[in-house]
């Protein structure tokens, strides 16, 4: 079995693969104050709960956009599995050529997304990840990652809205019945959701246009993808496990599979 871990700004996602099948997925809130022992206990408890034997894990691949946690997870993996994880970073084989000003600036989660998008669904592809930030990553038909856009995620926008305005309440991020809102809550929901939909459609249109790849498949993943996907037909494929699948592909490429 291969364990893949995606450490994001808001959540840590874990996927366990047996051969090419993902057999378990877990999530935890990202807490950079936790020690390696605490994360080791958490991982070990998940294995016990699901009746998986840690001794059957033959490899671990790790993506992290939270540098403070990377070291903790490396130690936790060493203590739990007696393994050193493959950390996705510059120099690791991905099968994707990263042609941007500084490839070291590209987040490892974005690389995993593009690897999965390209190798599972074909190129050219435009991969979006609706997480803490909303990211747009473009790979051409030759597997060259050559353009990216980063915008505030829908949760960041919501947090800014109610933290900077004294009279607006905290609300659930959901799509209201109509954009013609009749009260404060639905007016905020309409602005957040439909505003994000408009942003997504415009950015995709401009990226396709300037890259001259109008046929690029649009692939979406991430926690808020389903909300946006329900209100636009510009998304071709929704894959909630895209990042984890990309990490497994990267592991395979670095281990002769």
Looking only at the bridges linking them, the beta strands covering 59-64 and 2-7 are: parallel
The C-alpha atoms of residue 225 and residue 129 are separated, in whole angstroms, by 7
Q: Which of 37, 101, 102, 109 is catalytic?
A: 109
- H helices present in the chain, as ranges: 36-49, 67-81, 108-121, 154-163, 184-211, 225-229, 242-254
* Residues paired with residue 98 on neighbouring β-strands, in sequence order: 145
Give the single-character DSSP code of 11.
Answer: E
User: Could you give the 3-state DSSP secondary structure of residue 6?
Assistant: strand
128, 197 Cβ separation under 8 angstroms: no
Decide if 157 contacts 196 (C-beta within 8 A): yes
Instruction: Classify residue 162 as exposed, middle or buried by CB count within 10 Å of its CB (0-12, 13-18, 19+).
Output: middle
Q: What spatial distance separates the first Cα and last Cα of the chain, rounded to whole Å?
A: 14
19: left (phi over 0), alpha (psi -120 to 50) or beta: left
Work out whether strand 217-221 and strand 144-152 pair parallel, antiparallel, or are unpaired: unpaired
**How many Cβ atoms sit within 10 Å of the Cβ of residue 139?**
29
53 part of the active site: no
Q: Supply the residues annotated as catalytic.
A: 109
């Amino acid at each position: 079995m291969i364990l893949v871990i995606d450490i994001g700004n808001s959540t840590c996602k874990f996927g366990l693969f047996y051969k090419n099948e993902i057999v378990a997925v877990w999530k935890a809130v990202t807490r950079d104050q936790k020690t390696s022992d605490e994360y080791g206990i958490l991982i070990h408890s998940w294995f016990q709960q699901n009746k998986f034997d840690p001794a059957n894990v033959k490899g671990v691949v790790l993506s992290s956009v939270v540098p403070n946690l990377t070291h903790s997870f490396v130690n936790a993996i060493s203590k739990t599995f007696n393994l050193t994880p493959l950390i996705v970073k510059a120099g690791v084989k991905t099968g994707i050529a990263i042609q941007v000003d500084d490839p070291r600036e590209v987040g490892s989660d974005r690389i995993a997304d593009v690897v999965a998008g390209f190798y599972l669904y074909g190129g050219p592809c435009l991969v979006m990840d609706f997480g803490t930030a909303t990211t747009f990553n473009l790979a051409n038909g030759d597997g060259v990652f050559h353009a990216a856009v980063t915008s505030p995620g829908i949760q960041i926008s919501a947090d800014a809205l109610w933290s900077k305005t004294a009279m607006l309440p905290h609300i659930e991020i959901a799509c209201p019945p109509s954009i013609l809102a009749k009260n404060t809550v639905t007016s905020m929901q309409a602005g957040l959701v439909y505003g994000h939909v408009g942003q997504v459609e415009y950015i995709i249109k401009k990226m396709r246009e300037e890259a001259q790849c109008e046929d690029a498949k649009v692939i979406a993943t991430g926690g808020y993808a389903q909300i946006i996907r329900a209100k636009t037909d510009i998304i071709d494929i929704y894959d909630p496990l895209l990042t984890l699948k990309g990490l497994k592909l990267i592991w395979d490429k670095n281990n002769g599979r």
